[in-house]
């Protein structure tokens, strides 16, 4: 239609038009596009578990037993035993009474938040929270108050001025900046002002904490009544998402979270893969996690020495600020020409003037991969 064409032309003129890249195959830190090999710095598969032979074996075994599709929503068509086993395994891993799996992190946040926060609630949200949190808040009937990024003092000001039921929602690791929420302060404020607290631990699970359990382990915080959302699709290398918390919370969400109630459930083979992935993170991932952090430090130090603005990154997500869309597209294309896959990040994913290249460092990257990025950036700076 004419309206669609005009909008696409407008986006292209502003440097905001997006197109899909099709990957022929993927192995470790490499992807094949149009039969050309590229170093992949855009994957959230931090530990490389998507290729782990034991996870593939568990999935194939379940595939032969259950078939692939689950057949319908769990309330309509029933739950498979792997769904129950995965939820029990998540609860043990996260240190909670219970857990409930969703199809994606987006489905989890857009189901959990509006189910909890109805009319007469106030939601307090970090200004840089993920789009799925923002959309979940929009679907709720609650009043919304946005606090400045990682600013606990501003959060407290807003909490002081509010009455009624309160819900604080924050990412733990922010997906575009790679920094970490000040959870100790936020937990303190949630208790002081009797606010419910929900954390999105998607990029922390498997990466933060001495055993990879996520941000609460990283800060030494007990789960207690904190609502923990997380995904199986990043460091766990699988697919799906979950909420972990009290038995009452899970029973409530089974009856009120529309994205759970009205979605076909995860294939049983996917659930079995998730169980095996958690086992691996729990008992076998220490060396992988160390490699991630060693690689992260190598790239971060090199970028800083070259004078690039990496914002306040503290994790394997390392942005390089490029400011405007045109410059970002040009740099991304330059990387691509040099066989490095690092797509341009532009509005609406980030705000105007905050365009960037977002590097996602994994255990599968080699020192040579990281040095290749730094050398390409050196040449870019001299052009």
The first and second tokens of residue 267, run together, are: 């294939």
Domain shared by 344 and 362, yes or no: yes
Read off the pLDDT band of 13 (50, 70, 90): confident
Distance between CA 368 and CA 281 in Å, rounded? 26
Answer yes or no: 175 catalytic.
Answer: yes
The first and second tokens of residue 298, run together, are: 């190598």
Answer yes or no: 98 catalytic.
Answer: no
Domain shared by 172 and 298, yes or no: no
Q: What is the pLDDT of residue 5?
A: 86
The average pLDDT across 89-108 equals 98
Which tens digits make up the pLDDT trace of 243-301? Answer: 999 999 999 999 999 999 999 999 999 999 999 999 999 999 999 999 999 999 999 99
> Which entry of 145, 234, 276, 365 is annotated as an active-site residue?
234
Please determine, for residue 382, whether its predicted confidence score (pLDDT) is greater than 70: no
Long-range Cβ contacts of 90-93 (<8 Å, 24+ apart)? 90/230, 90/242, 90/244, 90/278, 91/244, 93/213, 93/278, 93/281, 93/282
Q: Tell me if 12 is assigned to some domain.
A: no
Read off the pLDDT band of 332 (50, 70, 90): very high
Answer yes or no: 301 catalytic.
Answer: no
More confident residue, 318 or 312: 318
Read off the pLDDT band of 26 (50, 70, 90): confident
> Which entry of 29, 43, 125, 175 is annotated as an active-site residue?
175
* Residues in Cβ contact with 254 at an 8 Å cutoff, skipping those fewer than 6 apart: 75, 100, 260, 261
Q: Tell me if 64 is assigned to some domain.
A: yes
The CATH number covering residue 342 comes to: 3.90.1150.10
Distance between CA 78 and CA 283 in Å, rounded? 31
The CATH number covering residue 260 comes to: 3.40.640.10
> Which entry of 145, 203, 276, 365 is annotated as an active-site residue?
203
Q: Tell me if 2 is assigned to some domain.
A: no
Q: Are strands 165-171 and 196-200 parallel, antiparallel or unpaired?
A: parallel
Domain that holds residue 266: 53-284
CA distances from 236 to 28, 38, 69, 162, 320 (A): 14, 23, 21, 38, 26
* Residues in Cβ contact with 79 at an 8 Å cutoff, skipping those fewer than 6 apart: 265
- The phi and psi torsions of 31 (rounded to 5 degrees) equal -130, 150
The average pLDDT across 76-105 equals 97
């Amino acid at each position: 239609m004419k309206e669609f064409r005009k909008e696409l032309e407008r986006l292209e003129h502003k440097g905001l038009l997006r197109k899909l890249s099709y990957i022929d195959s993927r192995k470790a830190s490499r992807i094949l596009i149009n039969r050309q090999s590229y170093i992949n710095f855009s994957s959230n598969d931090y530990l490389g578990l998507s290729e782990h032979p034991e996870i593939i074996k568990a999935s194939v075994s379940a595939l032969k037993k259950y078939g692939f599709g689950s057949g319908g929503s769990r309330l309509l068509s029933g739950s498979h035993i792997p769904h129950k086993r995965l939820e029990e395994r998540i609860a043990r891993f996260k240190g909670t009474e219970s857990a409930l799996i969703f199809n994606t992190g987006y489905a989890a946040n857009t189901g959990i938040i509006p189910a909890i926060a109805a009319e007469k609630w106030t939601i307090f949200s970090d200004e840089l929270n993920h789009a799925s949190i923002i959309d979940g808040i929009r679907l709720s009937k609650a009043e919304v108050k946005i606090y400045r990024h990682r600013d606990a003092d501003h959060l407290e000001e807003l909490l002081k001025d509010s009455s009624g039921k309160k819900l604080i929602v924050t990412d733990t690791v922010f997906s575009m900046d790679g920094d970490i929420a000040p959870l100790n302060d936020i937990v303190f404020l949630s208790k002081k002002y009797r606010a419910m607290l929900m954390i999105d631990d998607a990029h922390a699970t498997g990466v933060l904490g001495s055993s990879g359990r996520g941000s609460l382990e990283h800060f030494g915080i007990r789960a207690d009544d904190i609502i923990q959302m997380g995904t199986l699709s990043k460091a766990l290398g699988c697919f799906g998402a979950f909420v972990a918390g009290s038995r009452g919370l899970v029973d409530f969400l089974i009856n009120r979270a529309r994205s759970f109630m009205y979605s076909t459930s995860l294939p049983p083979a996917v659930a079995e893969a998730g169980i095996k992935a958690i086992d691996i993170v729990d008992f076998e991932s220490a060396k992988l996690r160390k490699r991630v952090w060693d690689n992260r430090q190598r790239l971060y130090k090199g970028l800083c020495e070259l004078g690039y603005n990496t914002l306040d990154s503290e994790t394997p997500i390392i942005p390089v600020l490029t400011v405007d869309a045109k410059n970002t597209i040009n740099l991304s294309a330059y990387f691509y020409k040099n066989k490095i896959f690092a797509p341009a990040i532009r509005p609406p994913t980030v705000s105007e003037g905050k365009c960037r290249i977002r590097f996602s460092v994994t255990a599968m990257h080699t020192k040579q991969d990281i040095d290749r990025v730094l050398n390409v950036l050196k040449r870019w700076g001299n052009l």
